[in-house]
Structure 1
Amino acid sequence: MSPLTWIAVGSLAAWGWLLLGQGSFWLADVRLPRREDPAEWPAVAIVVPARDEAEVLPVSLGSLLAQEYPGHAEVFLVDDGSTDGTGRLARELADRADRARGPALTVCSPGEPEPGWTGKLWALRHGIALARTRTPAPEYLLLTDADITHAPDSLRALVSSARGADLDLVSQMARLRVATFWERLIVPAFVYFFAQLYPFRRVNRAGARTAAAAGGCVLLRDSAAERARVPESIRDAVIDDVALARAVKRSGGRIWLGLADRVDSVRPYPRLGELWRMVSRSAYAQLRHNPLLLMGTAGGLAVVYLAPPVAVVGGALTGSPLPVAAGATAWAAMTGTYLPMLRYYGQPLWLAPLLPFTAALYLLMTLDSAVRHYRGQGAAWKGRTYPRPARPGAAEEGARP
C-alpha cells in the first residue's frame, strides 16, 4: 500500500477506537445527576475571583445576587488587583440588589499574589478563608468566574445534585458565547476537544483515574477542599480547574462533570485573535511543557483530523480508491461525532465537515503556545505572565487525564 493509504487506514482505525473506547465523549448528553432536596439546606459561600471584569459584572454578579436559594448563601467577590473599577461597581450592584431575596455580598481584595501563586488561586484562597469566618460556616463553596451567569435556580440545582448523588465536587461546563463566525467555528470544537481528552463519563466513574472540572462553575464541599488542601496544593496551577478535580479525587472525593443548560459565559471572543490567545495561553501547560508530548499531540491531531480530507483529495487526484474510501469513512465518523456538540450549541450542522480546518487552527495555537513559553512569555492573562511552575509537576498535576 502507498504511504497515503497507510495514513488513511491509520486515521480510520483511530476513529474506530475513539468511537468505541473513549467513553462516548461525543454524545454531549451528560447533565446534572439525580437531585434530592435536603431537609435542611446547607450554607453556601459563593466565591468569585474578578480581575478587570467591569464590562461583564452587571450581568454575572447580578445573576448571583438573584439566586433563589432556600438556605443561607453569601457572595464573596475578590477584586484581584483590578484597574477598571470592578470592586466599586460590585459594591454599587450590591446596594441596588434586593437583599431580602438574594444572597448578601462581600467585596474584598487580597493584594498582589505571593510568589508561587497564580492570581486566580490567590484570590480564591482569600475568599475561601474569609467565608470560613462567617456564621453559619459554609458546608459548600461555589467557585464561579466573574464572566459566568447563573439561572435563578442554579445554586439550588447544584446543591440538590451534590446531596442526591453524594458528591464532593459538582462542576458544570458553562455554555460559552457563540455569536460571531469565529466563535461558531472554534467554540463548540473547544468543548468537543476537551470532552475527548477528559470524557465526562470516565471523569464521573468512581475509581477511574481521569479527573477534570470546568472552572467557571464548581460546587465543592468545604470538608473535601480542606482534605485536598485546596487551593494551597495547586497554588501555581495554570489549568487550575483540572488540577482542582485531581486533588479532590486523589484525596478520596467523588467528583462529577457535565454540560450546563442554564449556566452561561458572557465573555465575548468575537475575533480570531482573541480566541487564539484564549487557547494558546494554556495549551502548552496542558502538555506539561513537554516537547515530546507536543510532538505526539501534533502528530495525533494530524493523523486523526487532517489525514482524512488529505487522503480523500490525494486519492482522488492519483486515482487511488482505497485512500479515498478510508479517508471518507474517517471523515464521516469525525463529522458524525461532532453533530451532537453543534446541536447542543444550536449551530448549523454544515459546520461539522469543517472540523479538520478547526483542528488545524488548534494545532497552530498549540504550537504557538509552545513558542511563547520558550520566549519567556508563558501563560499570559490580563497583564500577568506565569512561567513553568518551579515545583516539579505542580501545574502539570492537573494536565494528566
Structure 2
Amino acid sequence: MGQTAHVSAVVWTAAVSLAAWLWLLLAQGFFWRTDVRLPTRREPDVWPSVCVVVPARDEAAVLPASLPSLLAQDYPGRAEVFLIDDGSTDGTGELARELAGRQHGLPLTVASPGEPPTGWTGKLWAVRHGIALARACEPEYLLLTDADIAHAPDSLRELVSAAGTGGFDVVSQMARLRVESPWERLVVPAFVYFFAQLYPFRRIGKERAGKKGERRTRTAAAAGGCVLLRSEAAERARIPDAIRHAVIDDVALARAVKDSGGRIWLGLADLVDSVRPYPRLHDLWRMVSRSAYAQLRHNPLVLFGTVTGLTLVYLVPPAAVAVGAVTGSAGAAVLGALAWLVMAGTYVPMLRYYRQPLWLAPLLPFTASLYLLMTVDSAVQHYRGRGAAWKGRTYARPGTVPDEG
C-alpha cells in the first residue's frame, strides 16, 4: 500500500510538471522562440550623434578582440568612444590607447573615475563618468557596451535605425555568448534560455495602457552588453544614479526607463558577440552565482520558491520516468516523458541559434540542476558576506547602503 501511495504521488507530481510545461509552452510569451531580432527599421535622413561608453576593469585579455570592432564602426553620423578604465591593474587603459593608435576609426577617449564611493557598483560609477564626459558632445544616443563585446561594422547604424524607426528609448541586444568548450556548450545556451523564460522578449516590446493614459511596457529587461539608450530618456530616468547600487544593472536600467514612461526593446543579436571565454565550469559558476541571489531580491522565501519551481519543472520529469521504469508505473513514465519532451522541444530553437547539436536538448534537466546549485551557492555566499563579488570587489545588498537624494 505504501509503495502504491508513493507511486501515485509521483504520478500526480509528474502531471503537475506536465501542466506547468504546457503553460510555459503556450502562455509565457513564447519565450522559447528565437526569432526576436532587430525590428523593422529604416535609415534616417539625418544620422543622430552617438557616444559609446565602455566601462572596463582588467580587460586587457579581451580588449584586442572587442575595442577595434567599435572603433571600426561604419556609422554615417558623428560618433566617438569613451573607454572608462575602472581601476585596472593589467594595463587596460594603456592597451586601449595603443589599439586606437594602430587604427584610423572613431575617436577614443580613455579616462578613469577613481574608486567608486559607497553605494555605487564599480561598473555604474564608470558608466556615470563616461556619460558625464559624453554630455559635452550632446549626443542624441548613448551606446552602453561591455569591454568583452565585439560589434559587426554595421552594428551601430542598425541599432540607431531600429531605435528611430520604432520610437524606442532603449534598444538592447542579447549578445551571442561564446560557445566553444564542453562546459560552455552545456551551460551557455541554457543561460540565455532561462533569461528569456524570466523575461520573454516578445512581452518587453509590447505596451499596455498605464495610469492617465501613459504607455508602459509589460515586462522590463535589457542585456547589459549592448544597450542603445536615448540621452533624453537617460536624463528622465536618472541613469545611472537611480540604479547606482544595482548588481543586475541591465534589468534595473530597463525598469527605470519604463517607470519614467520610456519604450524598450530587447532581442537576440546577429551582429553582437561576446568574446569572453568561460572554458571551465568554475568560470561559469562564478558568472551565475555572483548575481543569482540578487535576482531573487535576497529573499529566502523567493529562494525557496525558486528551488521548488526548478525541481518541479526540470527535475521531476526525468525522475518520474526513472520511477516509472523501476516500479512499472506507466502513468509516471508517460507523464514524465511527455513533460521531458516538451522541455527538450522548447530548448531546441536556442540550441539552433547557438549552432549546437540537438542531442544536448534532453540534457537540460542536468543543466538546470547545475543552475539550481549555483543559485543556492549564491545565497550561501551572500550570507557569508561574499555575495555579489566580482573582480576584487564585494557589493552590499541594496538597502544596506545610505541612500542619496
* TM-score of the alignment, normalized to the shorter chain, above 0.5: yes
Aligned to 1:193: 194
The answer on whether the counterparts of 2:119 and 2:401 sit within 8 Å (CA) in structure 1 is: no
**Residue number among 84, 87, 97 corresponding to 2:90 in the alignment:** 84
4+ runs of 1 displaced by more than 2 Å? 390-394
Secondary structure (helix, strand or coil) at the match of 1:52 reads: coil
Counterpart Cα distance in 2 of 1:388 and 1:116: 10
Alpha-carbon distance in 1 for matches of 2:77, 2:218? 34
Aligned to 2:221: 212
Aligned CA distance change for structure 1 residues 42 and 393 (closer, same or farther; 3 Å) = same
Q: Is the 8 A contact 2:176 2:272 kept in 1?
A: yes
Instruction: Classify the secondary structure of the residue corresponding to 1:26.
Output: coil
1:61 to 67, 71, 74: 67
| Partner Cα distance (1:315, 1:163) in 2 | 56
Q: 1 CA distance for matches of 2:204 and 2:336?
A: 31
Partners of 1:129 and 1:110 in 2: CA distance: 11
Alignment partners' CA distance in 2, 1:368 and 1:179: 25
CA distance in 2, matches of 1:332, 1:393: 49
Spell out the pairing of 1:1-400 with structure 2 (5 A cutoff).
2-98=8-104, 102-134=105-137, 137-207=138-208, 208-390=217-399
Q: Does the 8 Å contact 2:52/2:144 carry over to 1?
A: yes
Q: Is the 8 A contact 2:14 2:336 kept in 1?
A: yes
Residues in 2 aligned to 1:88 and 1:156: alpha-carbon distance in whole angstroms:
28
Listed one character per residue, the Cα deviations across residues 55-80 of structure 1 (whole Å, up to 9, x for unaligned) are: 11111100000000000000000000
Q: Percent identity among equivalent residues?
A: 74
| SS of 1:352 mapped into structure 2 | helix
Distance (Å, rounded) in 2 between the aligned partners of 1:206 and 1:13: 28
C-alpha deviation, 1:392, in angstroms = 9.0
Q: Distance in 1 between matches of 2:250 and 2:401?
A: 19
Q: Which digits, 9 at most, give the CA deviation of each residue in 1:321-358, with x for residues without a partner?
A: 10111100000000000000000000000000000000
| Structure 2 runs not aligned, ≥5 long | 209-216
Alpha carbons 2:175, 2:273 under 8 Å: kept: yes
Shift in Å, 1:374: 0.3
Q: TM-score, normalised by structure 2?
A: 0.95
How many pairs were matched up? 389
Structure 1 position 389, deviation (Å): 1.4
Bigger shift: 143-152 or 377-386?
Answer: 377-386
Secondary structure of 2:109's match? strand
Provide the TM-score with structure 1 as the length reference: 0.96
Residue identity in the other structure for 1:58:
P
Q: Which runs of 5+ in 1 are unaligned?
A: 395-401
The CA deviation string for residues 56-109 of structure 1, in whole angstroms up to 9 with x for no partner, is: 1111100000000000000000000000000000111111111xxx21000000
Q: Is the 8 A contact 2:119 2:402 kept in 1?
A: no
3-state SS of paired residue (2:270) = strand
CA–CA distance in structure 2, aligned partners of residues 387 and 113 of structure 1 = 13
- Deviation per residue, 1:345-384 (Å, 9 max, x gap): 0000000000000000000000000000000001011000
RMSD after superposition: 1.2
CA contact (8 A) 1:377 1:387 kept: no
How much has 1:209 moved relative to structure 2?
3.2
**1:331, 1:306 → 2: CA distance?**
9
- SS at structure 2 position matched to 1:132: helix
